[in-house]
C-alpha cells in the first residue's frame, strides 16, 4: 500500500491491518463481486426474515 | 370507526401509515401529521452530500400518495398531547400547529383513538456552541436540504484544492453523546473517495473525530465478525478502512464548540484540545422535540409520557442499573406507552432504556460516548409492528398486543457506502444480529456470529444502490410494495 508509507511509526494509524493488492483486486473483480452480491443478498434476507418473525 | 393519528412521515411513521391504510377498511380514519410534505430516503443523503445524487432523487411528495390511499394529511407539527382529552372532549387529542404556507401558525386539535408518535429526533445543533449547518464551513447531511448545501460547500473546497490550496476535512460527531456514527462514517469515506477520484489527495487532510471509545463502535458497542480465519472486532475493520485511505482519527472526543476554523473538544483524559478545519460535517446530538402533555384537568403529565431527554416512554425497563447489569430484556418490544396503551412510539421517537455502548465519563465529569442508534431497518420494522398491533386491536376489539419487535432480537443490515460507482464504487455490507448484544444467548461474542458480518467490496455498492430504488419504490406505494420487507 503506497499510502502506508506516510503513516507515522507508533501512531494509532501504524497498527491496524491493511489490505494487500490481492485483497483489493477481489473487492473490485466483477465476476467475484456478482457472486458475493448474491450471497450477501441471501444473508440479508435471512436477517430480515428473522427480524420480522 | 377508529381514528388513528400518525405523527411523523419518516421511515417508522410512513411505514405504519402504509400498513394501516392497506389493512384497515375505509370506515376508519387515518391521519398523518408531518411538518413537511415530502418523504426522504435518508440513507442516500450521503450521496447528495457529495454531488452524486440530487435532493429530487431521494424524495417525493406525500400529498398525492396519501390522497390516493385515503389518508388525511396535515402539514403541521405536534405541540402538546392531551391523551385524556379536556373539559370539552372525552377523546384524546394532539394539538398541532400548521407549517404549510396556507395555514401557517394556525393551531388545531387532532382527536385520536390510537396515536403513533413517530416524530424521530430533534437535531439538537443548539447543544453544541457554533454548530450551525450552512454557516461558514460547517455542513450537515442530516436532511436532504442540509446535504444539498453540504455538496455546495464541498464543491467549493474541491475547487480550492484544484487551485493548489490545501484543505482539512473533519467529519464525525459534533456532540459528546451524539449517535449516528454510521452516517458520518459513510460521509467521510465518500468525501475521501471523491477527493481521490479527482486526484487531489495530496492537497487534502481527512480526519475522523468521534465520541466512540474505539473506532467501529457505531453506538452499538461494536461487533465481532468472522473473516479471514479470525473473529475480530469492528474496531479493526473501521481502522483498517481508514488506514487504507490514509484517513487520520481522533477518538474519545466530545466536541463542545466550533468556530469558523477550529473545533474545540474534550477527550476522556480530560484534556481540552483544538482541531483546525476547512470543512466540517459533524452529527449533532439528538433529543426529543420538547412536547408537553396534559391530563383532563390540564395538569402537566409530561413525565408520564416522556423521558427527561424528551423521547417517549414505552415498554422498556427504565430502572437505572450499572452497565454490567444491562440486558436485552430492558429493551422495548411493543413501543406502547405504559400509562396510555393507545399511544405508541416506534423509531427514534421512543426513549431507549439506556445506551448500548458503555457510558464513559471524562476526568472532568463530561459524559463522552456514543448513544444508541436506530437505523432505517429497525425503525421500519417497529413501524410495521405498531401498525399490525393497532390493526388487530381495532379489528378484534382485543387490546392484547401480539406482534413484537425488540432490538434485542431483531437484526439489522447496514450498507456503509465508501464510494459511488457501478464499477469503481465500494461499500461495506454490515449485518448485526441482534442489534443489541445478547450476552446471555451469545456469551462469546454477544451476537450470532453466523449472521453478523462485515464485507467490503463493489457488491456492497450495488446493494446500497439497489436498496435506494427498492425502498423508494416501496415508500411510493407502487404495485406489490408490501412484498418488499422493511
Report chain B residues whose CB lies below 8 A from the CB of A30.
423, 458
Q: How many domains does chain B have?
A: 1
| Interface residue B329 vs chain A (CB under 8 A) | no
The answer for B 439-468 residues in CB contact with A (under 8 A) is 451, 453, 455-460, 462-463
Measured between alpha carbons, how far is B309 from B290 in angstroms, rounded to an integer? 8
| Interface residue B421 vs chain A (CB under 8 A) | no
pLDDT band at A2 (very low <50, low <70, confident <90, very high): very low
| Per-residue pLDDT at A49 | 79
From A3-17, A36-50, B150-164, B332-346, the region with the lowest mean pLDDT: A3-17
Per-residue pLDDT of chain B (486 residues; tens, 9 = 90+): 899 999 999 999 999 999 999 999 999 999 999 999 999 999 999 999 999 999 999 999 999 999 999 999 999 999 999 999 999 888 999 999 999 999 999 999 999 999 999 999 999 999 999 999 999 999 999 999 999 999 999 999 999 999 999 999 999 999 999 999 999 999 999 999 999 999 999 999 999 999 999 999 999 999 999 988 999 999 999 999 999 999 999 999 999 999 999 999 999 999 999 999 999 999 999 999 999 999 999 999 999 999 999 999 999 999 999 999 999 999 999 999 999 999 999 999 999 999 999 999 999 999 999 999 877 789 999 999 999 999 999 999 999 999 999 999 998 888 999 999 999 999 999 999 999 999 999 999 999 999 888 999 999 999 999 999 999 999 999 999 999 988
- Phi, psi angles (nearest 5°) of residue B351: -85, 115
Residue B359 CB contacts under 8 Å (≥ 6 apart), including other chains:
B323, B367, B369
b (16+ CB within 10 A) / e for A8-29: eeeebbeebebbeeeebeebee
Measured between alpha carbons, how far is B426 from B346 in angstroms, rounded to an integer? 32
Report chain B residues whose CB lies below 8 A from the CB of A5.
none
- Is B459–A37 a contact, with Cβ atoms under 8 angstroms apart? yes
- Is B457–A26 a contact, with Cβ atoms under 8 angstroms apart? yes
Task: State the CB neighbour count (10 A cutoff) for residue B479.
Answer: 7
Range of the domain at B108: 3-122+287-396
Pairing between β-strand B412-419 and β-strand B426-432 as defined by DSSP bridges? antiparallel
- What is each CA distance from A8 to A5, B94, B166, B248, in whole angstroms? 8, 58, 20, 11
User: Cβ distance B185 to B207 under 8 Å?
Assistant: no
Question: Hey, what's the cell of B150?
Answer: 453540504
| Interface residue B239 vs chain A (CB under 8 A) | yes
| Per-residue pLDDT at A5 | 52
pLDDT at A52 over 70: no
- Is A33–B459 a contact, with Cβ atoms under 8 angstroms apart? yes
Residue A40 CB contacts under 8 Å (≥ 6 apart), including other chains:
B429, B455, B459, B460, B463
User: Between A1, A40, A51, which is nearest B244 by CB?
Assistant: A1
Task: State the CB neighbour count (10 A cutoff) for residue B175.
Answer: 23
- Is B485–A17 a contact, with Cβ atoms under 8 angstroms apart? no
b (16+ CB within 10 A) / e for B391-405: bbbbeeeeeebebeb
| Per-residue pLDDT at B123 | 94
- Is A51–B457 a contact, with Cβ atoms under 8 angstroms apart? no
| Interface residue B418 vs chain A (CB under 8 A) | no
Task: Give the DSSP letter string of B166-209.
Answer: -EEEEEEESSTT---HHHHHHHHHHHHHHHHHTT-GGGEEEEEE
Asked if the peptide bond before residue B308 counts as cis, ω within 30 degrees of 0, the response is no
Give the domain CATH number at B332: 3.50.50.100
- Is B236–A43 a contact, with Cβ atoms under 8 angstroms apart? no
* Domain presence at residue B349: yes
Q: Domain map of chain A by residue range? A: 28-53
| Interface residue A25 vs chain B (CB under 8 A) | no
Substitution target in A40, A41, A42 with the highest count of B β-carbons within 10 Å is: A40
- Is B236–A27 a contact, with Cβ atoms under 8 angstroms apart? no
- Is A47–B244 a contact, with Cβ atoms under 8 angstroms apart? no
Report chain B residues whose CB lies below 8 A from the CB of A46.
451
Substitution target in B246, B421, B447 with the highest count of A β-carbons within 10 Å is: B246
pLDDT at A1 over 60: no
Amino acid at each position: 500500500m503506497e499510502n502506508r508509507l506516510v503513516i507515522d511509526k507508533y501512531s494509532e494509524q501504524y497498527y491496524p491491518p491493511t489490505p494487500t493488492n490481492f485483497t483489493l483486486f477481489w473487492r473490485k473483480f466483477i465476476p467475484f463481486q456478482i457472486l458475493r452480491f448474491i450471497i450477501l443478498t441471501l444473508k440479508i434476507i435471512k436477517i430480515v426474515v428473522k427480524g420480522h418473525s | 370507526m377508529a381514528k388513528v393519528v400518525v405523527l411523523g412521515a419518516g421511515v417508522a411513521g410512513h411505514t405504519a401509515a402504509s400498513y394501516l391504510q392497506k389493512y384497515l377498511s375505509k370506515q376508519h380514519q387515518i391521519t398523518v401529521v408531518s411538518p413537511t410534505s415530502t418523504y426522504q430516503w435518508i440513507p442516500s443523503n450521503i450521496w447528495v452530500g457529495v454531488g452524486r445524487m440530487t435532493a429530487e432523487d431521494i424524495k417525493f411528495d406525500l400529498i398525492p400518495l396519501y390522497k390516493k390511499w385515503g389518508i388525511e394529511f396535515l402539514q403541521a407539527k405536534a405541540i402538546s398531547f392531551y391523551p385524556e382529552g379536556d373539559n370539552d372532549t372525552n377523546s384524546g387529542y394532539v394539538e398541532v400547529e400548521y407549517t404549510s404556507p396556507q395555514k401557517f401558525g394556525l393551531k388545531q386539535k387532532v382527536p385520536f383513538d390510537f396515536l403513533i408518535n413517530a416524530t424521530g429526533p430533534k437535531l439538537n445543533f443548539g447543544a453544541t456552541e457554533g454548530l450551525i449547518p450552512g454557516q461558514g464551513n460547517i455542513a450537515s447531511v442530516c436532511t436532504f436540504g442540509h446535504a444539498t448545501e453540504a455538496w455546495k460547500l464541498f464543491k467549493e473546497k474541491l475547487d480550492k484544492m484544484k487551485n493548489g490550496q490545501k484543505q482539512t476535512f473533519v467529519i464525525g460527531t459534533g456532540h459528546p453523546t451524539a449517535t449516528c456514527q454510521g452516517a458520518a462514517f459513510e460521509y467521510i469515506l465518500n468525501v475521501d473517495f471523491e477527493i481521490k477520484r479527482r486526484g487531489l489527495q495530496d492537497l487534502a487532510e481527512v480526519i475522523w473525530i468521534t465520541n466512540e471509545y474505539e473506532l467501529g463502535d457505531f453506538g452499538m458497542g461494536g461487533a465481532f465478525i468472522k473473516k479471514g480465519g479470525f473473529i475480530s472486532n469492528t474496531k479493526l475493520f473501521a481502522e483498517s478502512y481508514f488506514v487504507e485511505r490514509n484517513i487520520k482519527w481522533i477518538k474519545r472526543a466530545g466536541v463542545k464548540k466550533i468556530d469558523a476554523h477550529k473545533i474545540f473538544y474534550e477527550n476522556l483524559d480530560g484534556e481540552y484540545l483544538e482541531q483546525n478545519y476547512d470543512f466540517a460535517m459533524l452529527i449533532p446530538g439528538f433529543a426529543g422535540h420538547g412536547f408537553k402533555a396534559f391530563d383532563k384537568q390540564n395538569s402537566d403529565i409530561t413525565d408520564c409520557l416522556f423521558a427527561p431527554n424528551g423521547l417517549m416512554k414505552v415498554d422498556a425497563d427504565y430502572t437505572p442499573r450499572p452497565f454490567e447489569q444491562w440486558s436485552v430484556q430492558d429493551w422495548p418490544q411493543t413501543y406502547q406507552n405504559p400509562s396510555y396503551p393507545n399511544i405508541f412510539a416506534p423509531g427514534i421517537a421512543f426513549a431507549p432504556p439506556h445506551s448500548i455502548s458503555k457510558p464513559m465519563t471524562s476526568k472532568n465529569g463530561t459524559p463522552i460516548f456514543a448513544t444508541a442508534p436506530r437505523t432505517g431497518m429497525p425503525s421500519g420494522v417497529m413501524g410495521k409492528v405498531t401498525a399490525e398491533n393497532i390493526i388487530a386491536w381495532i379489528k378484534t376489539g382485543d387490546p392484547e398486543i401480539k406482534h413484537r419487535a425488540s432490538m434485542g432480537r431483531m437484526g439489522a443490515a447496514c450498507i456503509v457506502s465508501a464510494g459511488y460507482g457501478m464499477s469503481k464504487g465500494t461499500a461495506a455490507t454490515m449485518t448485526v444480529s441482534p442489534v443489541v448484544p445478547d450476552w446471555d444467548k451469545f456469551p462469546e461474542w454477544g451476537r450470532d456470529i453466523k449472521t453478523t458480518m462485515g464485507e467490503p467490496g463493489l457488491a456492497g455498492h450495488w446493494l446500497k444502490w439497489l436498496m435506494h430504488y427498492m425502498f423508494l419504490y416501496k415508500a411510493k406505494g407502487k404495485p406489490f410494495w408490501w412484498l418488499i420487507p422493511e
